[in-house]
Amino acid sequence: MRRNLRSIVAAIPALLVMACALGPDYHRPETKVPAAFRFEPTATTESFADQGWWQVYQDPTLQSLIREALDNNLDVRIAAARIEQARAVLGSTRLQQLPQIAASADAQRARTSVDQRVPGVPAISNVFSADGSLSYELDFWGKYRRATESARAGLLASAYAKQDVMAGLVSGVATAYFTLLTLDEQLAITQHTVGTRQKFVDLTQ
């Protein structure tokens, strides 16, 4: 019975270590890249998706409309605010991994009563004191490291979300603008056709 009890007690530390594990470290998965490509690479490595919208849309009127939409869109502002919030969380998480320093100072002025005065000693004395402490918590179980990874992932997710909102907004404005240009062109063609036919009718009368 005692031997079984000793075995159980000896196994408790191992169980605690297993319970405190926070999961394996993140490793980026390997990406399979073909040994050769069908087409030769171009001189530049920048794709169309990597270009800014101001590089894609050269129309000054369209650029002005897009800028106005980005400045006044509520979703873009919310996405930007979430990025700032995620950046603050990441900064706060990183600070928790640094040594914590605390310092305090105090100054007092004391007056000695008449009956307790000592010859040659000033009746008024100043007392100064200072205290400080330095503490650091070892991240033995990876608690703060995992929290930093999570905060960094949240920041990246917020940044990507803002990019998605901006891309959708830019695409919508550009689509509406080009649709309007197409309708204006169709209207001009229709008006020209009606005018030509009206002249033909006038000549035949």
Q: What pLDDT was estimated at residue 123?
A: 60
Beta bridge partners of 123: none
Tell me the percentage of the chain whose pLDDT exceeds 90.
0
Q: pLDDT digit string (tens) for 151-172? A: 888 888 888 888 888 888 888 8
Distances (CA, A) of 129 to 1, 110, 157, 179: 61, 14, 49, 76
CA–CA gap between residue 187 and residue 146 (Å, rounded): 61
Helix (H) or strand (E) holding 108: strand 100-111
pLDDT for residue 41 is more than 50: no
Tell me the torsion sign for CA atoms 164, 166, 168, 171.
negative
* Helices 143-204, 60-72: inter-axial angle, 10-degree rounding: 140
> What residue type is assigned to position 188 of the chain?
A
pLDDT for residue 53 is more than 80: no
More confident: 113 or 190:
190
* Cβ 78 vs Cβ 158: under 8 Å: no
Residue 15's pLDDT band, with cuts at 50, 70 and 90, is very low
Q: What average pLDDT does the structure give for the chain?
A: 71
Residue 20's pLDDT band, with cuts at 50, 70 and 90, is very low
Copy the structure tokens of residue 175.
């689509």
CA–CA gap between residue 186 and residue 195 (Å, rounded): 14
Q: Which range is least confidently modeled, 17-21, 113-117, 118-122, 181-185?
A: 17-21
Q: What is the DSSP string of 54-77?
A: HHH---HHHHHHHHHHHHH-HHHH
More confident: 41 or 124:
124
Rounded to two decimals, what is the model's pTM?
Answer: 0.51
* Cβ 151 vs Cβ 89: under 8 Å: yes
